[in-house]
Amino acid sequence: MPSYESIENPERENDLASVLISADGKILGKYYRFNRNQITFDNLSPYLVDALLSTEDIRFYRHSGIDLKGLLRAVTGQLTHTYRGGGSTITMQLAENIYKTMTENQGYLYSHGMGGFVTKMKEWIIAIQLEKLFTKEEILAMYFNTIFFGHHSYGINTAAATFFGKSPDSLNIQESALLIGMLNAPTRFSPIIHPNKAMDKRTEVLYNMYKYNFISREIYDSLKVLPLGVDYKAQDHVTGPAPYFRSVIQPQLLSWAKENNLDLYESGLRIYTTIDSKMQEYAERAMEVHMTKLQATFDAHWNGQNPWRDNKTMS
């Protein structure tokens, strides 16, 4: 079991990307091991919350970490071979996301054939503690901060930017449904790798939202036929403005972080620079135009010959 102190401070269990910010407040890039940035409940689109509750835990606001009705359904399903879900609440899933109950810190019972039972017991205990320590809204925010959407996207903040170029609070109904549909199998339901499966899963989530009265039948019918509308932009270390600057400043940041007992890749630092993002964009555009002209001159000079040769290949 994790310590009580770590349950009181679950944010410490997650690596947070450090963000490099321009003088005019734009994100220039990130340093990270896991591309994750925290958000609060107020930063979430209400459609995201509705899609999550209708798909994962409709009684979330009515239980204290364990949904006995859902648990009974899961047990009955196992016994009658009509399994339709594992009975895990959002809070139990959060316990697994943060403390890796299925894969880490396993003891004697786990290694002697009781792994499933031990894992669930740990999740139940942690879920109850989390419900005592945090509000429902705080639990939802932590959940959205810890889930993985594939494509190097950890947490809803990064996922919204990766797949739609948006912040989480501006996601519409169908975008929210698509992202929630990816939760259990990010690769299988990836709109980039398997768009047809992603479309089917989005329809399923939209139907759940209709089923539990979050949207009307008319809205469900109109949204399920819309295209995915993905605006995919990979979030990685090399894309974005000022990549050379990010590379040059990195050793200085690593040194400063070490002196201050911090980790550049995990501590969620916000690093403010003097670079103006708009001027940087103009400079990079001007360089691209000029280099295109230089490349044309270079190619014309060599006229199809190989310029990369030595004395052995001169003839």
pLDDT above 90: percentage of residues in the chain? 47
Lowest mean pLDDT among 46-60, 70-84, 145-159, 226-240: 70-84
For range 9-24, the mean pLDDT: 74
Residue 119: its pLDDT value, please?
Answer: 72
Of 190, 223, 256, the one marking the end of a domain is: 223
Same domain? 90 vs 158: yes
Lowest mean pLDDT among 23-37, 38-52, 64-78, 273-287: 64-78
Same domain? 163 vs 177: yes
Q: How far apart are CA 265 and CA 32, in angstroms?
A: 4
Same domain? 191 vs 305: no
Q: Which pLDDT tens digit goes with each residue over 197-217?
A: 999 999 999 999 999 999 999
**Average per-residue pLDDT for the chain:** 83
Residue 175: its pLDDT value, please?
Answer: 98
DSSP state, residue 267? B
Residues 150-184 as b/e (b if ≥16 CB within 10 A, e otherwise) read bbbbbbbbbbbbbbbebebeebebbbbbbbbbbbe
Lowest mean pLDDT among 1-10, 54-63, 172-181, 272-281: 1-10
For range 297-312, the mean pLDDT: 83
Same domain? 53 vs 185: yes
Higher pLDDT, 163 or 9: 163
Residue 72: its pLDDT value, please?
Answer: 65
- Domain around 41: 36-223
C-alpha 284 chain-centroid distance: 29
State the pTM of this model.
0.69
Same domain? 73 vs 146: yes
Same domain? 77 vs 31: no
Same domain? 84 vs 175: yes
Q: Which pLDDT tens digit goes with each residue over 252-296?
A: 999 999 999 988 887 889 999 999 989 988 998 999 999 999 999
- For residue 178, the domain's CATH number is 1.10.3810.10
* Domain count of the fold of the chain: 2
Same domain? 89 vs 130: yes
Residue 83: its pLDDT value, please?
Answer: 45
Q: How confident is the model at residue 309 (pLDDT cuts 50, 70, 90)?
A: confident
Q: HEC states along 118-180?
A: HHHHHHHHHHHHHHHHCCHHHHHHHHHHHCECCCCCECHHHHHHHHHCCCHHHCCHHHHHHHH
Same domain? 179 vs 288: no
Q: Which tokens is 25 given?
A: 């407040």
| 8 in a structural domain | no
Return the closest-CA partner of residue 167 out of 150, 179, 184, 152: 179
Same domain? 141 vs 77: yes
Same domain? 307 vs 202: no
Q: How far apart are CA 235 and CA 133, in angstroms?
A: 33
Higher pLDDT, 10 or 58: 58
For range 73-88, the mean pLDDT: 55
For range 24-49, the mean pLDDT: 86
pLDDT above 70: percentage of residues in the chain? 79
Same domain? 206 vs 285: no
| 276 in a structural domain | yes
